[in-house]
Amino acid sequence: MQDAILKFEKLLLENVNHFPTINHNTLEERKPGKWSKKEVLGHLVDSAIHNLVRFTEINYVEKPYQHRPYSQIDLVNLNQYQTMDINELTQLWFVLNKQIVKLMKSVDEKALDYKIVLTDGSVIDLKFLMTDYVEHLEHHINQIKA
């Protein structure tokens, strides 16, 4: 878990000041059927919001935890990330993820084994969900930086 946390912190620190320096046109360019780089960052905001709730709720709700998906495309459109100021969007992304880092650092070792039932019936644990969140974050950061 420690490796995931270190990677997570590095991703945040490397990119919080980088995203606002990306050319405005590059950030907002859309390819057919794809999100712009700003919308990808907005998707990471939505992901942070939902995973912060998941990582918190699992500690006090009935077990096993029932994973609830969310409509990623609808949220990106409804939150209008394409029209947001890049500095505000970056700060929102950064602050939400700093809170997730704080939570990950303080999670009880036993809680990492809490079971999570996905909508397809498969079962994972909190440790997998947290480490997968970091991998998801890295994947989309690489898309933004490409």
Average pLDDT, the chain: 97
Give per-residue pLDDT as tens, 109-141: 999 999 999 999 999 999 999 999 999 999 999
- DSSP structural state of residue 125: E
- Say what the pTM is: 0.96
**Would strands 65-66 and 123-125 be described as parallel, antiparallel, or unpaired?**
unpaired
Give residues with Cβ within 8 angstroms of 141, minimum separation 6: 11, 15, 44
Nearest one of 35, 59, 61, 30 to 47, comparing CA atoms: 35
Q: Where are the domains of the chain?
A: 2-23+34-145
Task: Spell out the CATH class of 2-23+34-145.
Answer: mainly alpha
Strand order in the sheet with 65-66: 65-66, 115-117, 123-125
